[in-house]
Amino acid sequence: MEVTTHSAADETQVWGGGNKPLNASYGKMMMWFFIVSDALTFSAFLVSYGFSRFKFIDSWPIADQVFTHFPFLHGVDAPMYYVALMTFILIFSSVTMVLAVDAGHHMQKAKVTFYMLLTIIGGAIFVGSQAWEWSNFIRGEYGAVETKGGQILQFVDAQTGKRASIRDFATSIASERTTHQSSNGIWYQDEKALTTVTLAEVKAGFEANPNLVIRTQQLNENDQKIDLSRAASLEKIEEAQLVVEGANLIRNEYGNRLFADFFFFITGFHGFHVFSGVVINVIIFFNVILGTYERRGHYEMVEKVGLYWHFVDLVWVFVFTFFYLV
């Protein structure tokens, strides 16, 4: 074994503290560690989404047919434009954040304030857009019926190839049925709000409209949903058990139950990150205005929340790809 010698000066330099082998402050490094662990959490969610999707690869909903709304364009089929817009908004707020960090390096308080404000506005618009997206998703558009096996059957006009809304073709049958609430009757029993049309009405309407056929969950070799023939549809509608309108955590009108669950969970978890990011940005924004960092002599806090904010943007890039594009 070779003998290594150290001078006393080396000794204190290496072991005496004050070294910065990674050249990053404590706070910044902890923010990075948090981001790494959070990235693993998000990747676990996205991978489990991939797991469910590959498990039901021949019957997964097609995102283009689910997310078709754009503000102020009612009834216009606009797949993906809105999420693309949301992506741009978030990337842009990421840019204003990095500009704030850069201005902070130059100790320009006014510029940091301005860019932080833009970042907060961008983040708020994004969270609002996500809420709007959720409300459309929860409300649903066309409605569907569910079979005993949990398969979703949607309705299509065979001539135009367009989706048909159950509320449009259902024949109205007089019914006394109202939502059972815990206030009338046994107090521990109640039920969810009734669907706008009943199963019997949908069935009767379907039988009365010779143009309508059933669209199944199954995909053909070109990854399009398989439509049944009219005869097969009439047979299939008998298997319907429930009317499904919109989406909740149990069932949704778009197809596989897990699809809505993952949508709520992953975009919800991301939305929660954006929301907390906005809150943290607001706090830092006021600290900037109050001159806290000016007195401290550096704007590293802006850099740290900047890291978090970019991370949120980074996650959205992946959510966008795996939920809307792929």
Partner 1 sequence: MAADAHKLEIFRGLLKFKSNVQKIWGVLIFLSIVTTFEVALGIIRPEFLLQDFLSMKLLNWIFILLTIVKAYYIAWDFMHIRDERSGLKNAIVLPLIILIPYLAFILILEADYIFEVMRNGIVSWNF
CA-nearest of 166, 167, 160, 170 to 77 is 160
Which of 30, 57, 73, 279 binds partner 1 (CB under 8 A)? It is 57
**272: which 2 tokens?**
């929660």
Determine if 14 is a binding residue for partner 1 (CB under 8 A): no
Quick one: 11 or 223, whose CB is closer to partner 1?
223
Q: d(Cα 85, Cα 130) in Å, to the nearest integer?
A: 11
Determine if 54 is a binding residue for partner 1 (CB under 8 A): yes
**257: which 2 tokens?**
């139950």
Residues binding partner 1: what is the number (CB under 8 A)? Answer: 62
CA distances from 254 to 169, 193, 260, 263 (A): 19, 19, 8, 12
Sheet of 240-244, strand order: 225-227, 212-219, 152-157, 144-147, 240-244
> DSSP alpha helices (H): ranges in the chain?
8-15, 26-55, 63-66, 81-105, 109-139, 166-169, 199-208, 230-236, 257-262, 268-290, 292-296, 300-320
**What are phi and psi for residue 271, nearest 5 degrees?**
-60, -35
The amino acid sitting at 9 is A
Determine if 45 is a binding residue for partner 1 (CB under 8 A): no
161-180: b (≥16 Cβ within 10 Å) or e: eebbebbebbeeeeeeeeee
Which of 11, 30, 34, 44 binds partner 1 (CB under 8 A)? It is 44
Determine if 62 is a binding residue for partner 1 (CB under 8 A): no
Which of 161, 188, 222, 238 binds partner 1 (CB under 8 A)? It is 222
Sign of CA dihedral 135, 137, 138, 144: positive
- Shortest distance (Å) from residue 122 CB to partner 1: 13
- The 124-153 site mask, x for binding partner 1 (CB under 8 A), equals -----------------------xxx-x--
Angle at 140 between CA 163 and CA 43, to 5 degrees: 110
Determine if 121 is a binding residue for partner 1 (CB under 8 A): no
Quick one: 195 or 216, whose CB is closer to partner 1?
216
CB 156 within 8 A of CB 162: yes
Which of 11, 27, 76, 105 binds partner 1 (CB under 8 A)? It is 105
- Shortest distance (Å) from residue 149 CB to partner 1: 4
Q: d(Cα 9, Cα 265) in Å, to the nearest integer?
A: 56
Which of 61, 66, 68, 99 binds partner 1 (CB under 8 A)? It is 99
Quick one: 148 or 177, whose CB is closer to partner 1?
148
Three-state secondary structure call for residue 101: helix
Which of 8, 22, 110, 193 binds partner 1 (CB under 8 A)? It is 22
Determine if 242 is a binding residue for partner 1 (CB under 8 A): no
Radius of gyration for the chain, computed over Cα atoms and rounded to the nearest angstrom: 27
Quick one: 290 or 317, whose CB is closer to partner 1?
317
Which of 2, 5, 8, 106 binds partner 1 (CB under 8 A)? It is 106
Determine if 50 is a binding residue for partner 1 (CB under 8 A): yes
Determine if 326 is a binding residue for partner 1 (CB under 8 A): yes
Residues near partner 1, by CB under 8 A = 21-24, 29, 32, 35-36, 39-40, 43-44, 47-48, 50-58, 64, 79-81, 84, 87-88, 91-92, 94-95, 97-99, 102, 105-106, 147-149, 151, 216, 218, 222-223, 239, 306-307, 310-311, 313-314, 317-318, 320-321, 324-326
